[in-house]
């Protein structure tokens, strides 16, 4: 495993939000990254134009935009570097931003490839903490997500909908004992450092376990998650703007 603790340098930042106040808040939050260039977009179209021209290190994407869903921007960013850019460039770190933290919104964003999420209305300190964590390659964690992932691997539920998993044809790979332990502690509301302390592991090891567990959420499940989210109207009816 690569060392994920080394924060990558942030030079280009994309902020997509149609609400000027929220945009301003995000701009204020990313001040922690020093003199990085910040581009802003108000619509999916504008964001796409930026993405074609610039390779971004960080993108903060509102999920509910006037001309579509931020999920499509995340998906586009995850496809890789724009043509002509440095092929060795690392993929953009995407952080989804939404007003609602229900499972469907979070999982749709994570499945699309978001590294983290921000809830609108959180204090700037919390927002900055999240952004730092995302840039440090920290997996996004919350008790809700951990419970959902555990339930998924128990075969009880799909990550997206509350319905019992019907995709029995793609049995999820089992979690390791350690991964399960980690997720259980996270599910009880422990933070990553607390979990590490509890298990007598390093924080990095715990992060790796979490990431491995997330990566086992089958690729096809991710696609299904996006589809399901789209069908459920979350992508179009996102109230995040």
Partner 1 sequence: MRTAVSPSFRLVLAIAACLLSGALATTVVRRPPWLGLTFEQTVAGATLRIASVDVDETVNVPRVRAGDSLVAIGSTIRDIMGVVPSDLLEEPDFLDTWALEDAFYLRQSAITRILHSPSVTAVVIDKRGTVRSVVITPRIRPLASLPLIFWLQLLFGAAGLIIGTWVWALRADDWGPRAYAVTGACFLIFTHAAAIYSAREIALPGALFRTLSGINHFGAIHFGAALCTLFLVYPIRLTRAYAPLGLFAVATGWWLACVTRLAPDQDWGSRFPVMLAMLGAIGIALVQWRRTKGDPAARAVLRWFAVSVLTGCGAFIGLTAMVSAIGGLPPIPQGYAFGFFVLMYAGLAVGLRQYRVFDLDQWAYRILFWGLVVAVFIALDLALLNTASFSEGRTLVVGTFLAIGTFPVRRWVWSRLFDRDQLPPEQLFEKALHVTYAVSDEARDTRWRALLTELFDPLHAAADGTRDGGMNDGDVHLAAQGQELAIPAVASSPALRLTYARGGKRLFTPNDERLVRTLLSLMNAANASRKAYDEGVQRERTRIARDLHDTVSSPLLAGLAPLGPDAESGAQMATVQSEIRRAVRGMRSVVSGDAVTSAPLADCAADARFAAVERLTAAGLTVTWPLSDLGSHRMGPAERHAFGAFIQESITNVIRHSHATHIEVDVHVTDGVLRCVVTDDGVGFAPDPERQGDGLPNLRARAESMGGVATIGPRSDGRIGTEVTLVAPLTATVEV
24 sits near partner 1 (criterion: CB under 8 A): no
Nearer to partner 1, 47 or 185 (CB): 185
**201 lies in the binding site for partner 1 (CB under 8 A):** no
119 lies in the site for partner 1, by CB under 8 A: yes
For residues 93 and 148, give the distance between their C-alpha atoms in angstroms, rounded to a whole number: 23
Considering Cα of 192, then 105, then 97, then 212, what sign does the dihedral take?
A: positive
Of 5, 188, 215, 220, the residue at the interface with partner 1 (CB under 8 A) is 188
Region near partner 1 per CB under 8 A, out of 14-22, 67-75, 121-129, 223-231 = 121-129
Is 163 an interacting residue with respect to partner 1 (CB under 8 A)?
no
Sign of CA dihedral 102, 146, 59, 128: positive
Element housing 233 (H / E): none
Those residues with Cβ within 8 angstroms of residue 4's Cβ, 6 or more apart along the chain or in another chain: 136, 137, 138, 204, 207, 208, 211
Query: For residue 205, what are its two tokens?
Result: 């090891």
Assess 241 for contact with partner 1 (CB under 8 A). no
Q: Where are the beta strands (DSSP E) in the chain?
A: 12-16, 37-41, 58-62, 64-65, 68-69, 93-98, 116-119
* Binding-site member from 47, 94, 109, 187 for partner 1 (CB under 8 A): 187
Site string for partner 1, 39-78 (x = CB under 8 A): ----------------------------------------
Q: Is 180 in the site for partner 1 (CB under 8 A)?
A: no
Check residue 233 for interaction with partner 1 (CB under 8 A).
no
Interacting residue with partner 1 among 147, 211, 216, 241 (CB under 8 A): 147
**Interface with partner 1 includes 178 (CB under 8 A)?**
no
Interface with partner 1, residue 181, by CB under 8 A: no
Asked if residue 120 binds partner 1 (CB under 8 A), the reply is yes
- The alpha carbon of residue 185 and the mean position of all alpha carbons in its chain are separated, in whole angstroms, by 20
Q: Map residue 30 onto helix, strand or coil.
A: helix
Q: How far is the CB of 99 from partner 1 (least distance, A)?
A: 7
Residues 6+ apart with CB under 8 A from 197: none
Query: Could you tell me which of 9, 6, 25 has the C-alpha nearest to residue 17?
Result: 25
List of residues contacting partner 1 (CB under 8 A): 99-102, 119-123, 125-126, 128-129, 142-144, 147, 185, 187-191, 194, 239
């Amino acid at each position: 495993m690569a060392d994920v603790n080394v924060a990558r340098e942030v030079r280009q930042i994309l902020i997509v939000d149609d609400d000027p106040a929220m945009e301003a808040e995000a701009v204020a939050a990313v001040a922690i990254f020093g003199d990085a260039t910040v581009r802003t977009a108000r619509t999916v179209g504008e964001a796409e134009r930026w993405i074609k021209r610039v390779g971004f290190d960080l993108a903060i994407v509102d999920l509910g935009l006037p001309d579509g869903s931020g999920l499509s921007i995340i998906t586009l960013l995850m496809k890789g570097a724009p043509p002509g850019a440095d092929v060795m460039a690392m993929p953009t770190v995407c952080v989804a931003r939404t007003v609602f933290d229900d499972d469907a919104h979070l999982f749709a964003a994570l499945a699309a490839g978001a590294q983290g999420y921000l809830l609108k209305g959180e204090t700037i300190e919390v927002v900055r903490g999240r952004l730092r964590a995302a840039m440090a390659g920290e997996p996004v964690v919350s008790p809700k997500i951990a419970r959902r992932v555990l339930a998924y691997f128990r075969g009880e539920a799909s990550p997206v909908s509350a319905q019992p998993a019907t995709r029995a044809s793609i049995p999820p790979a089992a979690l390791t004992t350690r991964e399960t332990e980690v997720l259980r502690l996270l599910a009880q509301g422990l933070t990553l450092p607390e979990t590490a302390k509890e298990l007598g592991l390093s924080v990095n090891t715990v992060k790796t376990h979490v990431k491995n567990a997330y990566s086992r959420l089958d690729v096809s499940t991710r696609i299904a998650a996006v589809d399901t989210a789209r069908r459920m109207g979350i992508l179009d009816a996102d109230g995040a703007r």
